[in-house]
């Protein structure tokens, strides 16, 4: 093999490692969300100068439907992102 071929193969391996790491990170988050599904009582949104907390981290509240909706939407978004990354990895 010539140097260009080896360099190209090395770039593909590096890209595959990056994608695989992202997939593993997503899997960890999804496992934690599934394992802690009944313990999630609040959601935080952080931004540059602070943040907001919806719900109560100690008990269910009036905002529980909002918290559960955010959790469900997060799981859907992460699952879609994982599928996208898996397809990207498969294409390599």
Specify the pLDDT at position 90.
Answer: 94
Per-residue pLDDT tens digits for 17-59: 999 999 999 999 999 988 887 778 888 889 988 998 888 877 7
Q: Please state the domain count of the chain.
A: 1
pLDDT above 80 for 85 = yes
The better pLDDT of the pair 10, 58 is held by 10
- Cβ neighbors of 19 (< 8 A, separation 6 or more) are 85, 88, 89, 92
- Of residues 31, 43, 18, 45, the one with CA closest to residue 75: 31
Per-residue pLDDT tens digits for 62-75: 888 888 899 999 99
Other Cβ atoms less than 10 A from the Cβ of 26: the count is: 19
41: domain range? 3-91
The H or E element spanning position 46 is strand 42-47
């Amino acid at each position: 093999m010539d140097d260009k071929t080896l360099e190209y193969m090395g770039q593909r391996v590096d890209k595959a490692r990056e994608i695989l790491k992202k997939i593993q990170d997503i899997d960890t988050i999804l496992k934690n969300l599934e394992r802690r599904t009944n313990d999630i009582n609040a959601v935080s949104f952080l931004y540059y100068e602070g943040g907001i907390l919806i719900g109560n981290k100690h008990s269910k509240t009036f905002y529980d439907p909002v918290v559960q909706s955010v959790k469900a939407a997060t799981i859907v978004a992460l699952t879609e992102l994982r599928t996208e990354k898996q397809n990207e990895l498969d294409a390599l």
